[in-house]
Structure 1
């Protein structure tokens, strides 16, 4: 059997010429995901525990997570159908609410305590209850409603983590307020007030203090405030949130390849199509620059992308990984039911079947009409996508997921790399992390490999972005790397200014490409490449300051396949100014020709790059 591993309705190439998918496909996937959870539920349905590695929260809370996240998906399915769903779907979750709040059931949920996983799941349950109020909440017995209120009310007076978790308290206590339960008005608005401090601009928030720019903007920081306004009716705040979401979506649409693949960057990637939450939210709240047909084209492309690559799997489940199971791309807080945060990606089901997002013909994405470039200055992120191969690429000069100084900064392969894409993932196994080859400028001092921990953004506009980071060498010596990226089509030219002792060698890697079989590799004078069997090619070309080129191979290190390869450049010491060309393309790549066609003129610290079309760009280091 080949994917998709579920029965789907016929495609409609008139309504959806790009994907063929309709609302019926979304309902079919939702139903398959929900039904697949049933064999893994406790007798009272209060805990749902699919197979997979447990989280650090333990099996009891992993089971609560399975209930709550499944309930959120069920809520969108139920509400979107006006309650006209199979009766057993309603019964399952009503029964789970009764059992989970009954101390005598043997399945009771632990009470909510400070900074506990129960907070995350309480917010999901509160949202689900709000959206299904006529079909579930209003039909619960008075005793069950009282017990649910008592359990959710455990949130009142509790402390949350200083990040998106503050919004869990907002929506949970808002639901309590709406049903006459205990709540604290100051706690409802506390998280909303706090995200004002985290709003960086350009539609982007940082997830707590620091530079935490990732998909949590999509499935948390935009989602919960606007869903709260649906609960509270606060039009003043809603207007602010809508405008920010509209601006966010203007660039966020470029995070997706033409094949529907999201750029593989950041944490909690096992949530997969949860990244679609703000796309649907924009249509739901009249806060999107995207036409209805483009909204559905983007969303259906992503869901179809994963379905055609075996997600959900043969059992109808969502494994911990990207396509199949791949634990190095997960975090220890993720358990076997964590991927069901993907429920947020089904938010569009709340829009009625007659809404334009379901009835308007699909429109092409910008990347399907031409090459795209989009800068997000507030986040230090630069996007460039190419029409001919449909690849979306992210150049990172602003996101590091570290707390602000003086806290210690750490390296993370899903944040610290210079670039990410919709067709590649960083090598993330422990050994690959230690070697640190792909999309990294590494200083090599003996056996020590430097890290890009805290990223200090310098500039991000047009087709250029830059940042610097500090390196502490063995023995306590300090070094500095300043990096500039210039993007043109599938190319990224990197200019590095390295201040380090003359003994220190330098290595620069391109994108890691991965597949079931080992990628083909090749090397030449000042260049190296790795090519997947499907033609996806990663290449690096030394334009100035580099001595050698090689390819590093890895096994079981990459979310895209068990065999990966990364081309890299190397210089033995006294680095100074270095210029490289990094290429990721689905087309044929000829590194030797590119080395001859891209000109570089270095005059002291001034570097002028001349592209094959005659376009010129000059880079100079930032003032210190």
Structure 2
């Protein structure tokens, strides 16, 4: 496929085409068919749909007849004497988020704006947008909206607040962590809001304010961030799926699009073009368009289990941020040949992300330890607190608290006490290191589980230390894979193995009152595939202190399994010995215990997994 500038323009127009019939000179917002409820009022939801579509029209030249209607709608929205007035802003208003695309549209269509807005229209525009300086705005990535709105008002020769912008810059500085990473407010969340919000908005400001010394600083930070972010993308083009707001889809590569405008090095541009092109190709192969031609709510298909309470029908159109590439200062990007995917095996600790990121066989493995959400977004434990996220299969979310099929806890733990199922979340972080991640899940005063995770690919080890004063079942889940006609699933010798044509997953534990099995998950719990299975182990524990070692496997096909085998791991008294290093256990294990003798032979038994695929 030839990824010319015309290709990007045609693709953008394809996404904008369904909106055209919804624009109306007498309106100020639009209603996308099959609306869904959100945490904010209906009128704001419809403004969002209108505003985010304007991102596309900001980057697409021509179509002046459509743009004149849009300008009429903007005039209605900012006119307090019109019954289509967008209304006053209140503190932390969702409308704050939707402001900058409207002004960006006016700037990128400046000639039409001047032709259609008289002095009173401009005054109305100024009055409505200036409200952002008079309300409370959350201390997170939203601070950039204050900066962008004021800068765009200035570029339109309207009143703006330098003081309010400087305050916002100061707040953003307090959120900078180093190495190109930000904290999205006073939280441990680190997700795609760093690239498609913090860095994107910083570079957008720099694009329109190159004379500001801050622009050099923002570009430097983006260069630092790019070094780790480039590892998020697989050879197939898809990116690691984790965190909230994944319904924004190919906004995942919006950072690369705007970053490319600041680069001159041909190799870097070629590398970035490869990432963008592969990601776009992957997204075009997903079921992301509904029967009306609009983007659906979900990740790879329509799925409301994974969406946030602030996701409306128009929310997904933040993905149009990608198309800023069409207004780069030159067309050089489109003339460069994209670099083919090539990646050495990497293992990198990313402290700000609380993670170790490994690349193997063209895929990415993100081992997480410490991500939490201060906000009660849906399924936060699934989006931030699994042991592992990989590009081989996106994660699952839960649809019910009852039944492991509904919980769908890939790469996580579940404890069953009686008929109650509890999912691992809000753990105490003991250690985050390149080679080991230790956390403690305190379930109650009577039950806690310390987990020692040894990041590696395609195999990794998990050791769980269970302290309990009551009987329980411990479930440890491996990685999910698609359930299709090619699926093969086997449980034998306490090993659960499943694979299809493109994915393989397995988990093995010692025979300590436990068993292994395959969980046939309920439909639509996985955000990438409507139907998946997950291998898991389950052990019943009585009162006391218990240890278990699990070995997990996750790769693209079982053919590659015999090319790499797990490293030796063993426990002697109070230490874990793995890969030439020793790690102290929370509770010593007596060498006289029967469990100790079983652990010594563990690596010999694990070869059963390899032999199965041979």
TM bucket normalised to smaller: 0.7 to 0.9
Q: Given the superposition, is the C-alpha separation of residues 618 and 543 from structure 1 closer, same or farther in structure 2, using an over 3 Å criterion?
A: farther
SS in 2 for 1:423: coil
Alpha-carbon deviation of 1:515? 4.5
The corresponding residue for 2:337 is: 361
Bigger mean CA deviation after superposition, 511-520 or 272-281: 511-520
Alpha-carbon deviation of 1:478? 4.9
- The 5 Å alignment of 1:232-311 reads 232-233=209-210, 235-286=212-263, 291-311=268-288
Q: Is 2:197 the partner of 1:214?
A: no
Structure-2 separation of matches of 1:495 and 1:578: 6
Pick one of 513, 520, 533 that aligns with 2:481: 513
Alpha-carbon deviation of 1:191? 2.5
The corresponding residue for 1:225 is: 202
SS in 2 for 1:479: strand
Cα deviation code 1:380-414 (max 9, x no counterpart): 12222333xx33222111322236xxx99995311
| Unpaired segments ≥5 residues, structure 2 | 589-614
Bigger mean CA deviation after superposition, 256-265 or 224-233: 224-233
- Greater C-alpha radius of gyration: 2
- The 5 Å alignment of 1:106-121 reads 106-121=83-98
The corresponding residue for 2:547 is: 577
SS in 1 for 2:456: strand
Q: Given the superposition, is the C-alpha separation of residues 119 and 529 from structure 1 closer, same or farther in structure 2, using an over 3 Å criterion?
A: same
Pick one of 472, 479, 482 that aligns with 1:504: 472
Structure-1 separation of matches of 2:485 and 2:498: 12
Q: Given the superposition, is the C-alpha separation of residues 104 and 207 from structure 1 closer, same or farther in structure 2, using an over 3 Å criterion?
A: same
Q: Is 2:528 the partner of 1:560?
A: yes
Structure-2 separation of matches of 1:132 and 1:570: 61
Q: Given the superposition, is the C-alpha separation of residues 409 and 54 from structure 1 closer, same or farther in structure 2, using an over 3 Å criterion?
A: closer
Q: Given the superposition, is the C-alpha separation of residues 343 and 415 from structure 1 closer, same or farther in structure 2, using an over 3 Å criterion?
A: same
Pick one of 492, 514, 522 that aligns with 1:547: 514
**Conservation of the 8 A alpha-carbon contact between 1:269 and 1:321:** yes
The corresponding residue for 2:418 is: 446
Structure-1 separation of matches of 2:337 and 2:241: 29
The corresponding residue for 1:402 is: 374
Structure-2 separation of matches of 1:525 and 1:482: 24
- The 5 Å alignment of 1:608-623 reads 608-609=577-578, 616-621=580-585
Cα deviation code 1:59-113 (max 9, x no counterpart): 21111111111111211223xxxxxx22234323222212222345543212222
Cα deviation code 1:134-170 (max 9, x no counterpart): 4535753333222211111121220012321222122
Structure-1 separation of matches of 2:293 and 2:313: 13
Bigger mean CA deviation after superposition, 204-213 or 133-142: 133-142
Structure-1 separation of matches of 2:565 and 2:259: 46
Alpha-carbon deviation of 1:486? 2.2
Q: Given the superposition, is the C-alpha separation of residues 202 and 451 from structure 1 closer, same or farther in structure 2, using an over 3 Å criterion?
A: farther
Bigger mean CA deviation after superposition, 128-137 or 190-199: 128-137
Structure-1 separation of matches of 2:10 and 2:550: 47
The corresponding residue for 2:451 is: 482
**Conservation of the 8 A alpha-carbon contact between 1:256 and 1:422:** yes
Q: Given the superposition, is the C-alpha separation of residues 522 and 199 from structure 1 closer, same or farther in structure 2, using an over 3 Å criterion?
A: same
Alpha-carbon deviation of 1:330? 0.4
**Conservation of the 8 A alpha-carbon contact between 1:374 and 1:383:** yes
Cα deviation code 1:519-545 (max 9, x no counterpart): 43211112112334x331221122696
Structure-2 separation of matches of 1:621 and 1:66: 53
Structure-1 separation of matches of 2:331 and 2:377: 52
Q: Given the superposition, is the C-alpha separation of residues 209 and 434 from structure 1 closer, same or farther in structure 2, using an over 3 Å criterion?
A: farther
The corresponding residue for 2:601 is: none
Q: Given the superposition, is the C-alpha separation of residues 595 and 34 from structure 1 closer, same or farther in structure 2, using an over 3 Å criterion?
A: closer
Structure-1 separation of matches of 2:47 and 2:355: 36
Alpha-carbon deviation of 1:621? 4.3
Cα deviation code 1:224-283 (max 9, x no counterpart): 223223334453222222121111111111111111111111111110111112112222
Structure-1 separation of matches of 2:27 and 2:5: 28
Alpha-carbon deviation of 1:216? 0.4
Q: Is 2:424 the partner of 1:416?
A: no
**Conservation of the 8 A alpha-carbon contact between 2:499 and 2:557:** no
Structure-2 separation of matches of 1:205 and 1:193: 13
Bigger mean CA deviation after superposition, 579-588 or 447-456: 447-456
**Conservation of the 8 A alpha-carbon contact between 1:75 and 1:128:** yes
SS in 2 for 1:395: strand
**Conservation of the 8 A alpha-carbon contact between 2:379 and 2:398:** no
The corresponding residue for 2:610 is: none
Bigger mean CA deviation after superposition, 220-229 or 513-522: 513-522
Structure-2 separation of matches of 1:445 and 1:229: 55
CA RMSD, 1 decimal: 3.1
**Conservation of the 8 A alpha-carbon contact between 1:519 and 1:563:** no
Q: Is 2:454 the partner of 1:472?
A: no
**Conservation of the 8 A alpha-carbon contact between 1:271 and 1:339:** yes
Alpha-carbon deviation of 1:434? 6.8
Q: Is 2:363 the partner of 1:391?
A: yes
**Conservation of the 8 A alpha-carbon contact between 1:249 and 1:288:** no
Structure-1 separation of matches of 2:547 and 2:587: 16
The corresponding residue for 2:117 is: 140
- The 5 Å alignment of 1:425-444 reads 425-431=394-400, 435=404, 436=407, 437-444=409-416
Bigger mean CA deviation after superposition, 519-528 or 62-71: 519-528
